[in-house]
Amino acid sequence: MKKSFGNLLLRLFSKFFIIFALFFLVFFIYNNKNDFENYIYQINWNFAIMASILHLLAMTTQTLGWYVLVRKLSPSLSFVFHARVYTKSLVSRRIPLGLLWNIGGRFAEYEEFLPKKTLSVLFFAEYLLIASSGAFLLILVSVIFPSLILNYRGDTLLTISTLFLIVLVFTAIIIKLRNTSVNSIRSLPPLSLSLSFLLFLVTWIIDGMSLHLIVMSLNFQIGLLTTLSFSWIAAFSSFFGQFLPFNTAFKEITLVVMFSQWIPLAASVFIAIFQRVIHTIIEILMAFLTISISHFSTSLQITQR
């Protein structure tokens, strides 16, 4: 009874948070509509298109990371099948309670082919590799370029955010490890784990470069490493937001907070929204493409029989 009441409160809070965030966004855009119109007119579409292509490449790389992880355990399934399942899950994470839709959808797709325990291990391994590869990049940048983290404009917000998010990552990993057999993770091929880690690492880098091109499309001059760091920290906030019932706009809010220290607040909000629009369009197109290819492949196999 207490658990159901708690779940009800979480759902109500989630809805309230979403409504409040949308109301605030509409109110802010309305009050700054002239600035937003100017930003729309000044977009350099060459940079915006390149940013879209880079996000497409990043999501393709991430999809390959999942495929490398799962292929040895499901040799009878084609890459097209795995890509269709994964790209659909990428779209589902954009909605409230995205983690449930993401994992629940993949459970439904794979349940005929893989045991639930194996799927649980795969999902945990995926999240572990994504989190650890992103944390590795943030720590690497912090060590090699400490002035970027510690001294820019005398503000420590980025430092605090970085350390806090990294601590959260590994706290979540440790908690999860208590409920997941380490031997289960070790049962996955070491080469697959290493290659997936590398592919997820590349995904973080490419997506950060995509954000940098979005910033350049509006003619703002912010250093590449700074933008990359902003992108990774914002992605971390979104990553952890998946485990909460109100994941809406975690990434965008983080981007706005960080960019607003360099450029006007309205511009920061515009960049965050523009990135979300580009990412959503690209991910929907990827899902549509893989679903279409999968249906065509299935129809072709039936015809050949």
Could you list the residue range(s) of the whole structural domain that residue 134 is in?
43-73+116-283
pTM: 0.82
- Is there a domain that residue 30 lies in? no
pLDDT confidence tier of residue 1, bands split at 50, 70 and 90? very low
Per-residue pLDDT, averaged over 192-209, amounts to: 93
Please, is 300 exposed, middle or buried when counting C-beta atoms within 10 Å of its C-beta (0-12, 13-18, 19+)? Answer: exposed
- Is there a domain that residue 234 lies in? yes
Per-residue pLDDT, averaged over 25-51, amounts to: 85
pLDDT score for 144: 75
- Is there a domain that residue 165 lies in? yes
Q: Are 34 and 197 in contact (CB under 8 A)?
A: no
pLDDT score for 157: 53
As given in the structure block, the two tokens for residue 62 are 């991430």
Q: What is the tally of structural domains in the chain?
A: 1
- 232 closest CA partner among 177, 153, 166, 298: 166
Does 49 have pLDDT greater than 90?
yes
CA distance 52 to 273: 14
Residue with tokens 């510690």: 150
- Is there a domain that residue 34 lies in? no
| Helix or strand holding residue 12 (H, E) | helix 2-31
- Is there a domain that residue 88 lies in? no
pLDDT in tens, 218-254: 988 888 888 988 888 888 877 776 666 556 677 888 8
Per-residue pLDDT, averaged over 36-59, amounts to: 93
pLDDT in tens, 120-168: 888 888 888 888 888 888 878 777 776 655 444 444 455 555 555 555 5
Does 171 have pLDDT greater than 60?
no
Average pLDDT, the chain: 78
